[in-house]
Structure 1
Amino acid sequence: MPRHIFKFAAGLIFAAALPAAAQENLCGGTGDNGQWIGGDAINSDITTAPDYMEQMALVLLRNEYVSLFTVSAGTEVRIEAAGRGNGDTIIDVRNETGEIILSDDDSGGMGASRGELFLDPGTYCVSMSSYDGSPLTGFVRVGRMEHEALTQGFDSEPMMGGEACTADTPAMDLSGDVVAQDITAINTIDGTPFYRFTLAVDAPITLTAENPDADPVLTLYDNDGNLLAENDDFDGLNSRIDMQTALPAGTYCVGLRALSDAFQPVTLTIKGYDAAEVLNTLYARGEASPPLDGSYPVTSLGVIASRIRQDAQVTGETSWFAVEVEEAGLLLIEAIAQGNGDPVLVLFDDLGREIAYNDDFGSGLDSQVTARVQRGTYMIGVRQLDETVQGFIRILAERFVPAQ
């Protein structure tokens, strides 16, 4: 069957040349620059679509492409993304409020992304990005379960697990009050692919599955077997689900499947959702800049008059440095490994906006960014690409002013 490609887009660069989303604050703002998968809202209803809908997108460095669709009645939907060549896609699916209800990396097989879930009536946004931040040309496809799939899916992959969990599915019962105390279990996915737990009261929760050697995919179901959320590779090859909206009291099932070795022990943790802990995780991953109120470690490098040099012992968690710029100009920042190391460099402004990112500038492993800056405070984040590496990184910051 031929592909139905409704439009070609180039991430944030060429999106302005395409029909806009026509509404504001779609999916919590994520969809404001998105593109309707059927050309407009009326023709993007998956419930009534005669066939799957698909878009082709060029995602530039560290950007994402957002596709919009609607569901007019409760519908089982398959959402997929696949890159051309060696492209490795990641998808996040958000509901109207912006809550991520599905996140996936490799469930489509061969680096493609895939998720299948029941959706209530509403508007949804699919964000496609590249796993390593590199430019990517790929396809986003949304359809019902009877429509042709874009990806191979699990059935063609040599992985363990992957079935839905219902009330009749054999599962290991986990006792304890998730809200009051973390619940942890360590087993192989081959031996224990499903767990069941009960919430005594309505509560938001967090689930994690950890062991990179297994590369676990984490899924959460209600007691009727409806898929509530799925994640792969939230932190490296480990998975995490944050249910920020309180789940109703009741019984739930956790499913695990292995994209790698199903005979490796995987640590499953279920705990109450902690917004502060989630923020600290973002700071440690370099995906958000921390505040300067002393609640998170930040090294002040002071006012940058012309040049600042700082050596720091850096791990896989981002180390943060603050510099003060007293007048408009250009900042050039380098992260140079002292011995073994592969530094990743990120720069945020004082409003918490990422304005520059780099890994492997030029032909080496060191990083470098440049950015036009105004008067204010800027946050420099440095981490090792390999989380197992710890070593010294030399940070060089230089300020240039316009010629008079």
Structure 2
Amino acid sequence: MKSFHLKSAALSCAMLSFAAPLAAQEFCAGLGSSGVWIGGSEGSSDIATADNYREQMALVLGGSEYVSVFTLSQPSNVRIEAQGRGSGDPLIDVLDQNGSLVVSDDDSGGNGASRAEIPLDAGTYCVSTRSYDSSPMTAFVRIGREEQEPLTDGVANTSTNTGSGSGALGCAEADSIGVLSTTLQSELSVNQAPFLRFTLDAPLTLSLTAENQDADPVLTLYDGDENYIDENDDSDGLNSRIDVTETLPAGDYCIGLDALNDADLPILVTVSEYDPAAALMALVDRAEAAPPLDGTVEIADLGDLATRIRRDAQVTDKAMWFSVNVPEGGLMLIEAISVDGTGDPLVALYDDFGRQVALNDDYGDGLDSQVAARIGAGTYYIGLKEVSPDSQSFIRMGLERWVPAK
């Protein structure tokens, strides 16, 4: 585990910055209104001229995000990092002053930390830091130029390069996997093929996946001129997925492939036309969206939650769903406990409109899960799944309802 050492002055600055959000600034399409200058003030947050990196301690509450804001007075090569304390697993999104996504990253810093090294034009930028599993987290956010000291160890061959149309990535020399008609597939390691090319002979929306949990793949999509389109890490467990829902023009495209764990392991890359129904079901199977109520997903009705309900289930990495009726508002407590201690359950709670109320994996020091949420009367939907891929475990789920004192 990586240890953290901050000088007292730096820590004081970080804590002061956290307490002083920007005053209603409309940076990054409004995201910056809740942000904090990474250097404590606008003048000290110009990374292009800063004599050293700027750093903050970010307190990320459950299901929320922490927003750091910085400026560049001139184009610069910038390193942006977030490293969680303890078991914290941060994700970062970098947005420009218009609110457009520049780059996202999860694990490129190594050991669960996030890291992106990218050339940026002059302007104002926002860095959103959130927790991978939506649990509360304390993290350190560091922004500096590439020649300044990094926060994280990093991993080799990270794929956060956004591309600039310069033809410098290596797409031109990559092997082509064909012209997309229905589905294209290739199974090679990153060391064998860090880039792959394919062709669209007609405008299409796209889905791309990279599968091998042991390799922990990262996908990046570029156009034929190596301009960055999108990137993903850890969409389905440690597998990656990109859904391009806006129609791409016909032409050549390039896939950048990286492995955060083992670059010698084969990774199955699949390219297909985007299917909205299949994409929704994939979210439901991962408990990242509430199930549709049209009967396509089996939902076990637990009835009214008067005081306490207990249910045992054999759970896989495909979420199983339950509904429960709450007669009046109060606090709902959901626990998911591995019966034999070998399981790793995840619990997600949604209201009857499909809004996520709470989600948890790994409550406390163990792998069991617990959700506590203040709720109103109504019907709620609970997704229960095993985090480990291609596995199953016996999980005991308990629900309790607490009402306010009268």
Taking structure 2 as the reference length, what is the TM-score of the superposition?
Answer: 0.79
Superimposed CA distance per residue, residues 43-84 of structure 1 (whole angstroms, 9 cap, x where no aligned partner): 756567676543332334554322234567766543222345
Contact 1:166 1:224 in 2 (8 A): no
Partner in structure 2 of residue 386 of structure 1: 388
Q: CA RMSD in A?
A: 3.8
Partner in structure 2 of residue 78 of structure 1: 79
Partner in structure 1 of residue 243 of structure 2: 242
Distance in structure 2 (CA, Å) of the matches to 1:5 and 1:199: 51
Residue among 167, 178, 192 paired with 1:175:
178
Percent of pairs identical after alignment?
Answer: 52
Which amino acid in 2 is paired with 1:176? Answer: V
In 2 relative to 1, CA 292–341 (structure 1 residues): closer, same or farther, beyond 3 Å?
A: same
Aligned residues: 393
Superimposed CA distance per residue, residues 211-267 of structure 1 (whole angstroms, 9 cap, x where no aligned partner): 122222222233343444333323222222333444444322212222222222111
Which amino acid in 1 is paired with 2:106? Answer: D
Residue among 343, 346, 352 paired with 1:344:
346
Deviates more, 1:183-192 or 1:99-108: 99-108
In 2 relative to 1, CA 44–272 (structure 1 residues): closer, same or farther, beyond 3 Å?
A: farther
Partner in structure 1 of residue 55 of structure 2: 54
Q: Provide structure 2 residue ranges, at least 5 long, that are not aligned to the other structure.
A: 1-6
In the TM superposition, what is the alpha-carbon distance from 1:169 to its structure 2 partner?
4.2
In the TM superposition, what is the alpha-carbon distance from 1:360 to its structure 2 partner?
4.7
Contact 1:6 1:54 in 2 (8 A): no
Contact 1:9 1:58 in 2 (8 A): no
Contact 1:93 1:127 in 2 (8 A): yes
| 1:122-271 equivalence runs, <5 A | 124-131=125-132, 135-145=136-146, 149-154=150-155, 157=156, 166=169, 169-177=172-180, 180-271=181-272
In 2 relative to 1, CA 380–21 (structure 1 residues): closer, same or farther, beyond 3 Å?
A: farther
Partner in structure 2 of residue 355 of structure 1: 357
In 2 relative to 1, CA 310–139 (structure 1 residues): closer, same or farther, beyond 3 Å?
A: closer
In 2 relative to 1, CA 290–41 (structure 1 residues): closer, same or farther, beyond 3 Å?
A: farther
In 2 relative to 1, CA 271–143 (structure 1 residues): closer, same or farther, beyond 3 Å?
A: farther
Distance in structure 2 (CA, Å) of the matches to 1:23 and 1:353: 28
Contact 2:219 2:242 in 1 (8 A): yes
In the TM superposition, what is the alpha-carbon distance from 1:162 to its structure 2 partner?
8.8
In 2 relative to 1, CA 279–65 (structure 1 residues): closer, same or farther, beyond 3 Å?
A: farther
In 2 relative to 1, CA 364–139 (structure 1 residues): closer, same or farther, beyond 3 Å?
A: closer
In the TM superposition, what is the alpha-carbon distance from 1:185 to its structure 2 partner?
0.9
Contact 1:342 1:384 in 2 (8 A): yes
Which amino acid in 2 is paired with 1:396? Answer: G
Partner in structure 1 of residue 369 of structure 2: 367
Q: Provide structure 1 residue ranges, at least 5 long, that are not aligned to the other structure.
A: none
Secondary structure, counterpart of 2:278 in structure 1: helix
Distance in structure 2 (CA, Å) of the matches to 1:41 and 1:293: 51
Superimposed CA distance per residue, residues 355-377 of structure 1 (whole angstroms, 9 cap, x where no aligned partner): 33344556765433333321122
In the TM superposition, what is the alpha-carbon distance from 1:191 to its structure 2 partner?
1.5
Which amino acid in 2 is paired with 1:216? Answer: P
In 2 relative to 1, CA 90–323 (structure 1 residues): closer, same or farther, beyond 3 Å?
A: same
Deviates more, 1:252-261 or 1:135-144: 135-144
Which amino acid in 1 is paired with 2:374? Answer: R
Secondary structure, counterpart of 2:179 in structure 1: coil
Taking structure 1 as the reference length, what is the TM-score of the superposition?
Answer: 0.79
Partner in structure 2 of residue 281 of structure 1: 282
Distance in structure 2 (CA, Å) of the matches to 1:322 and 1:292: 11
In the TM superposition, what is the alpha-carbon distance from 1:21 to its structure 2 partner?
5.9
Partner in structure 2 of residue 66 of structure 1: 67
In the TM superposition, what is the alpha-carbon distance from 1:335 to its structure 2 partner?
2.4
Superimposed CA distance per residue, residues 183-218 of structure 1 (whole angstroms, 9 cap, x where no aligned partner): 211112221221112334454433221112222222
Secondary structure, counterpart of 2:235 in structure 1: coil
In the TM superposition, what is the alpha-carbon distance from 1:160 to its structure 2 partner?
9.2
Secondary structure, counterpart of 2:178 in structure 1: coil
Secondary structure, counterpart of 1:279 in structure 2: helix
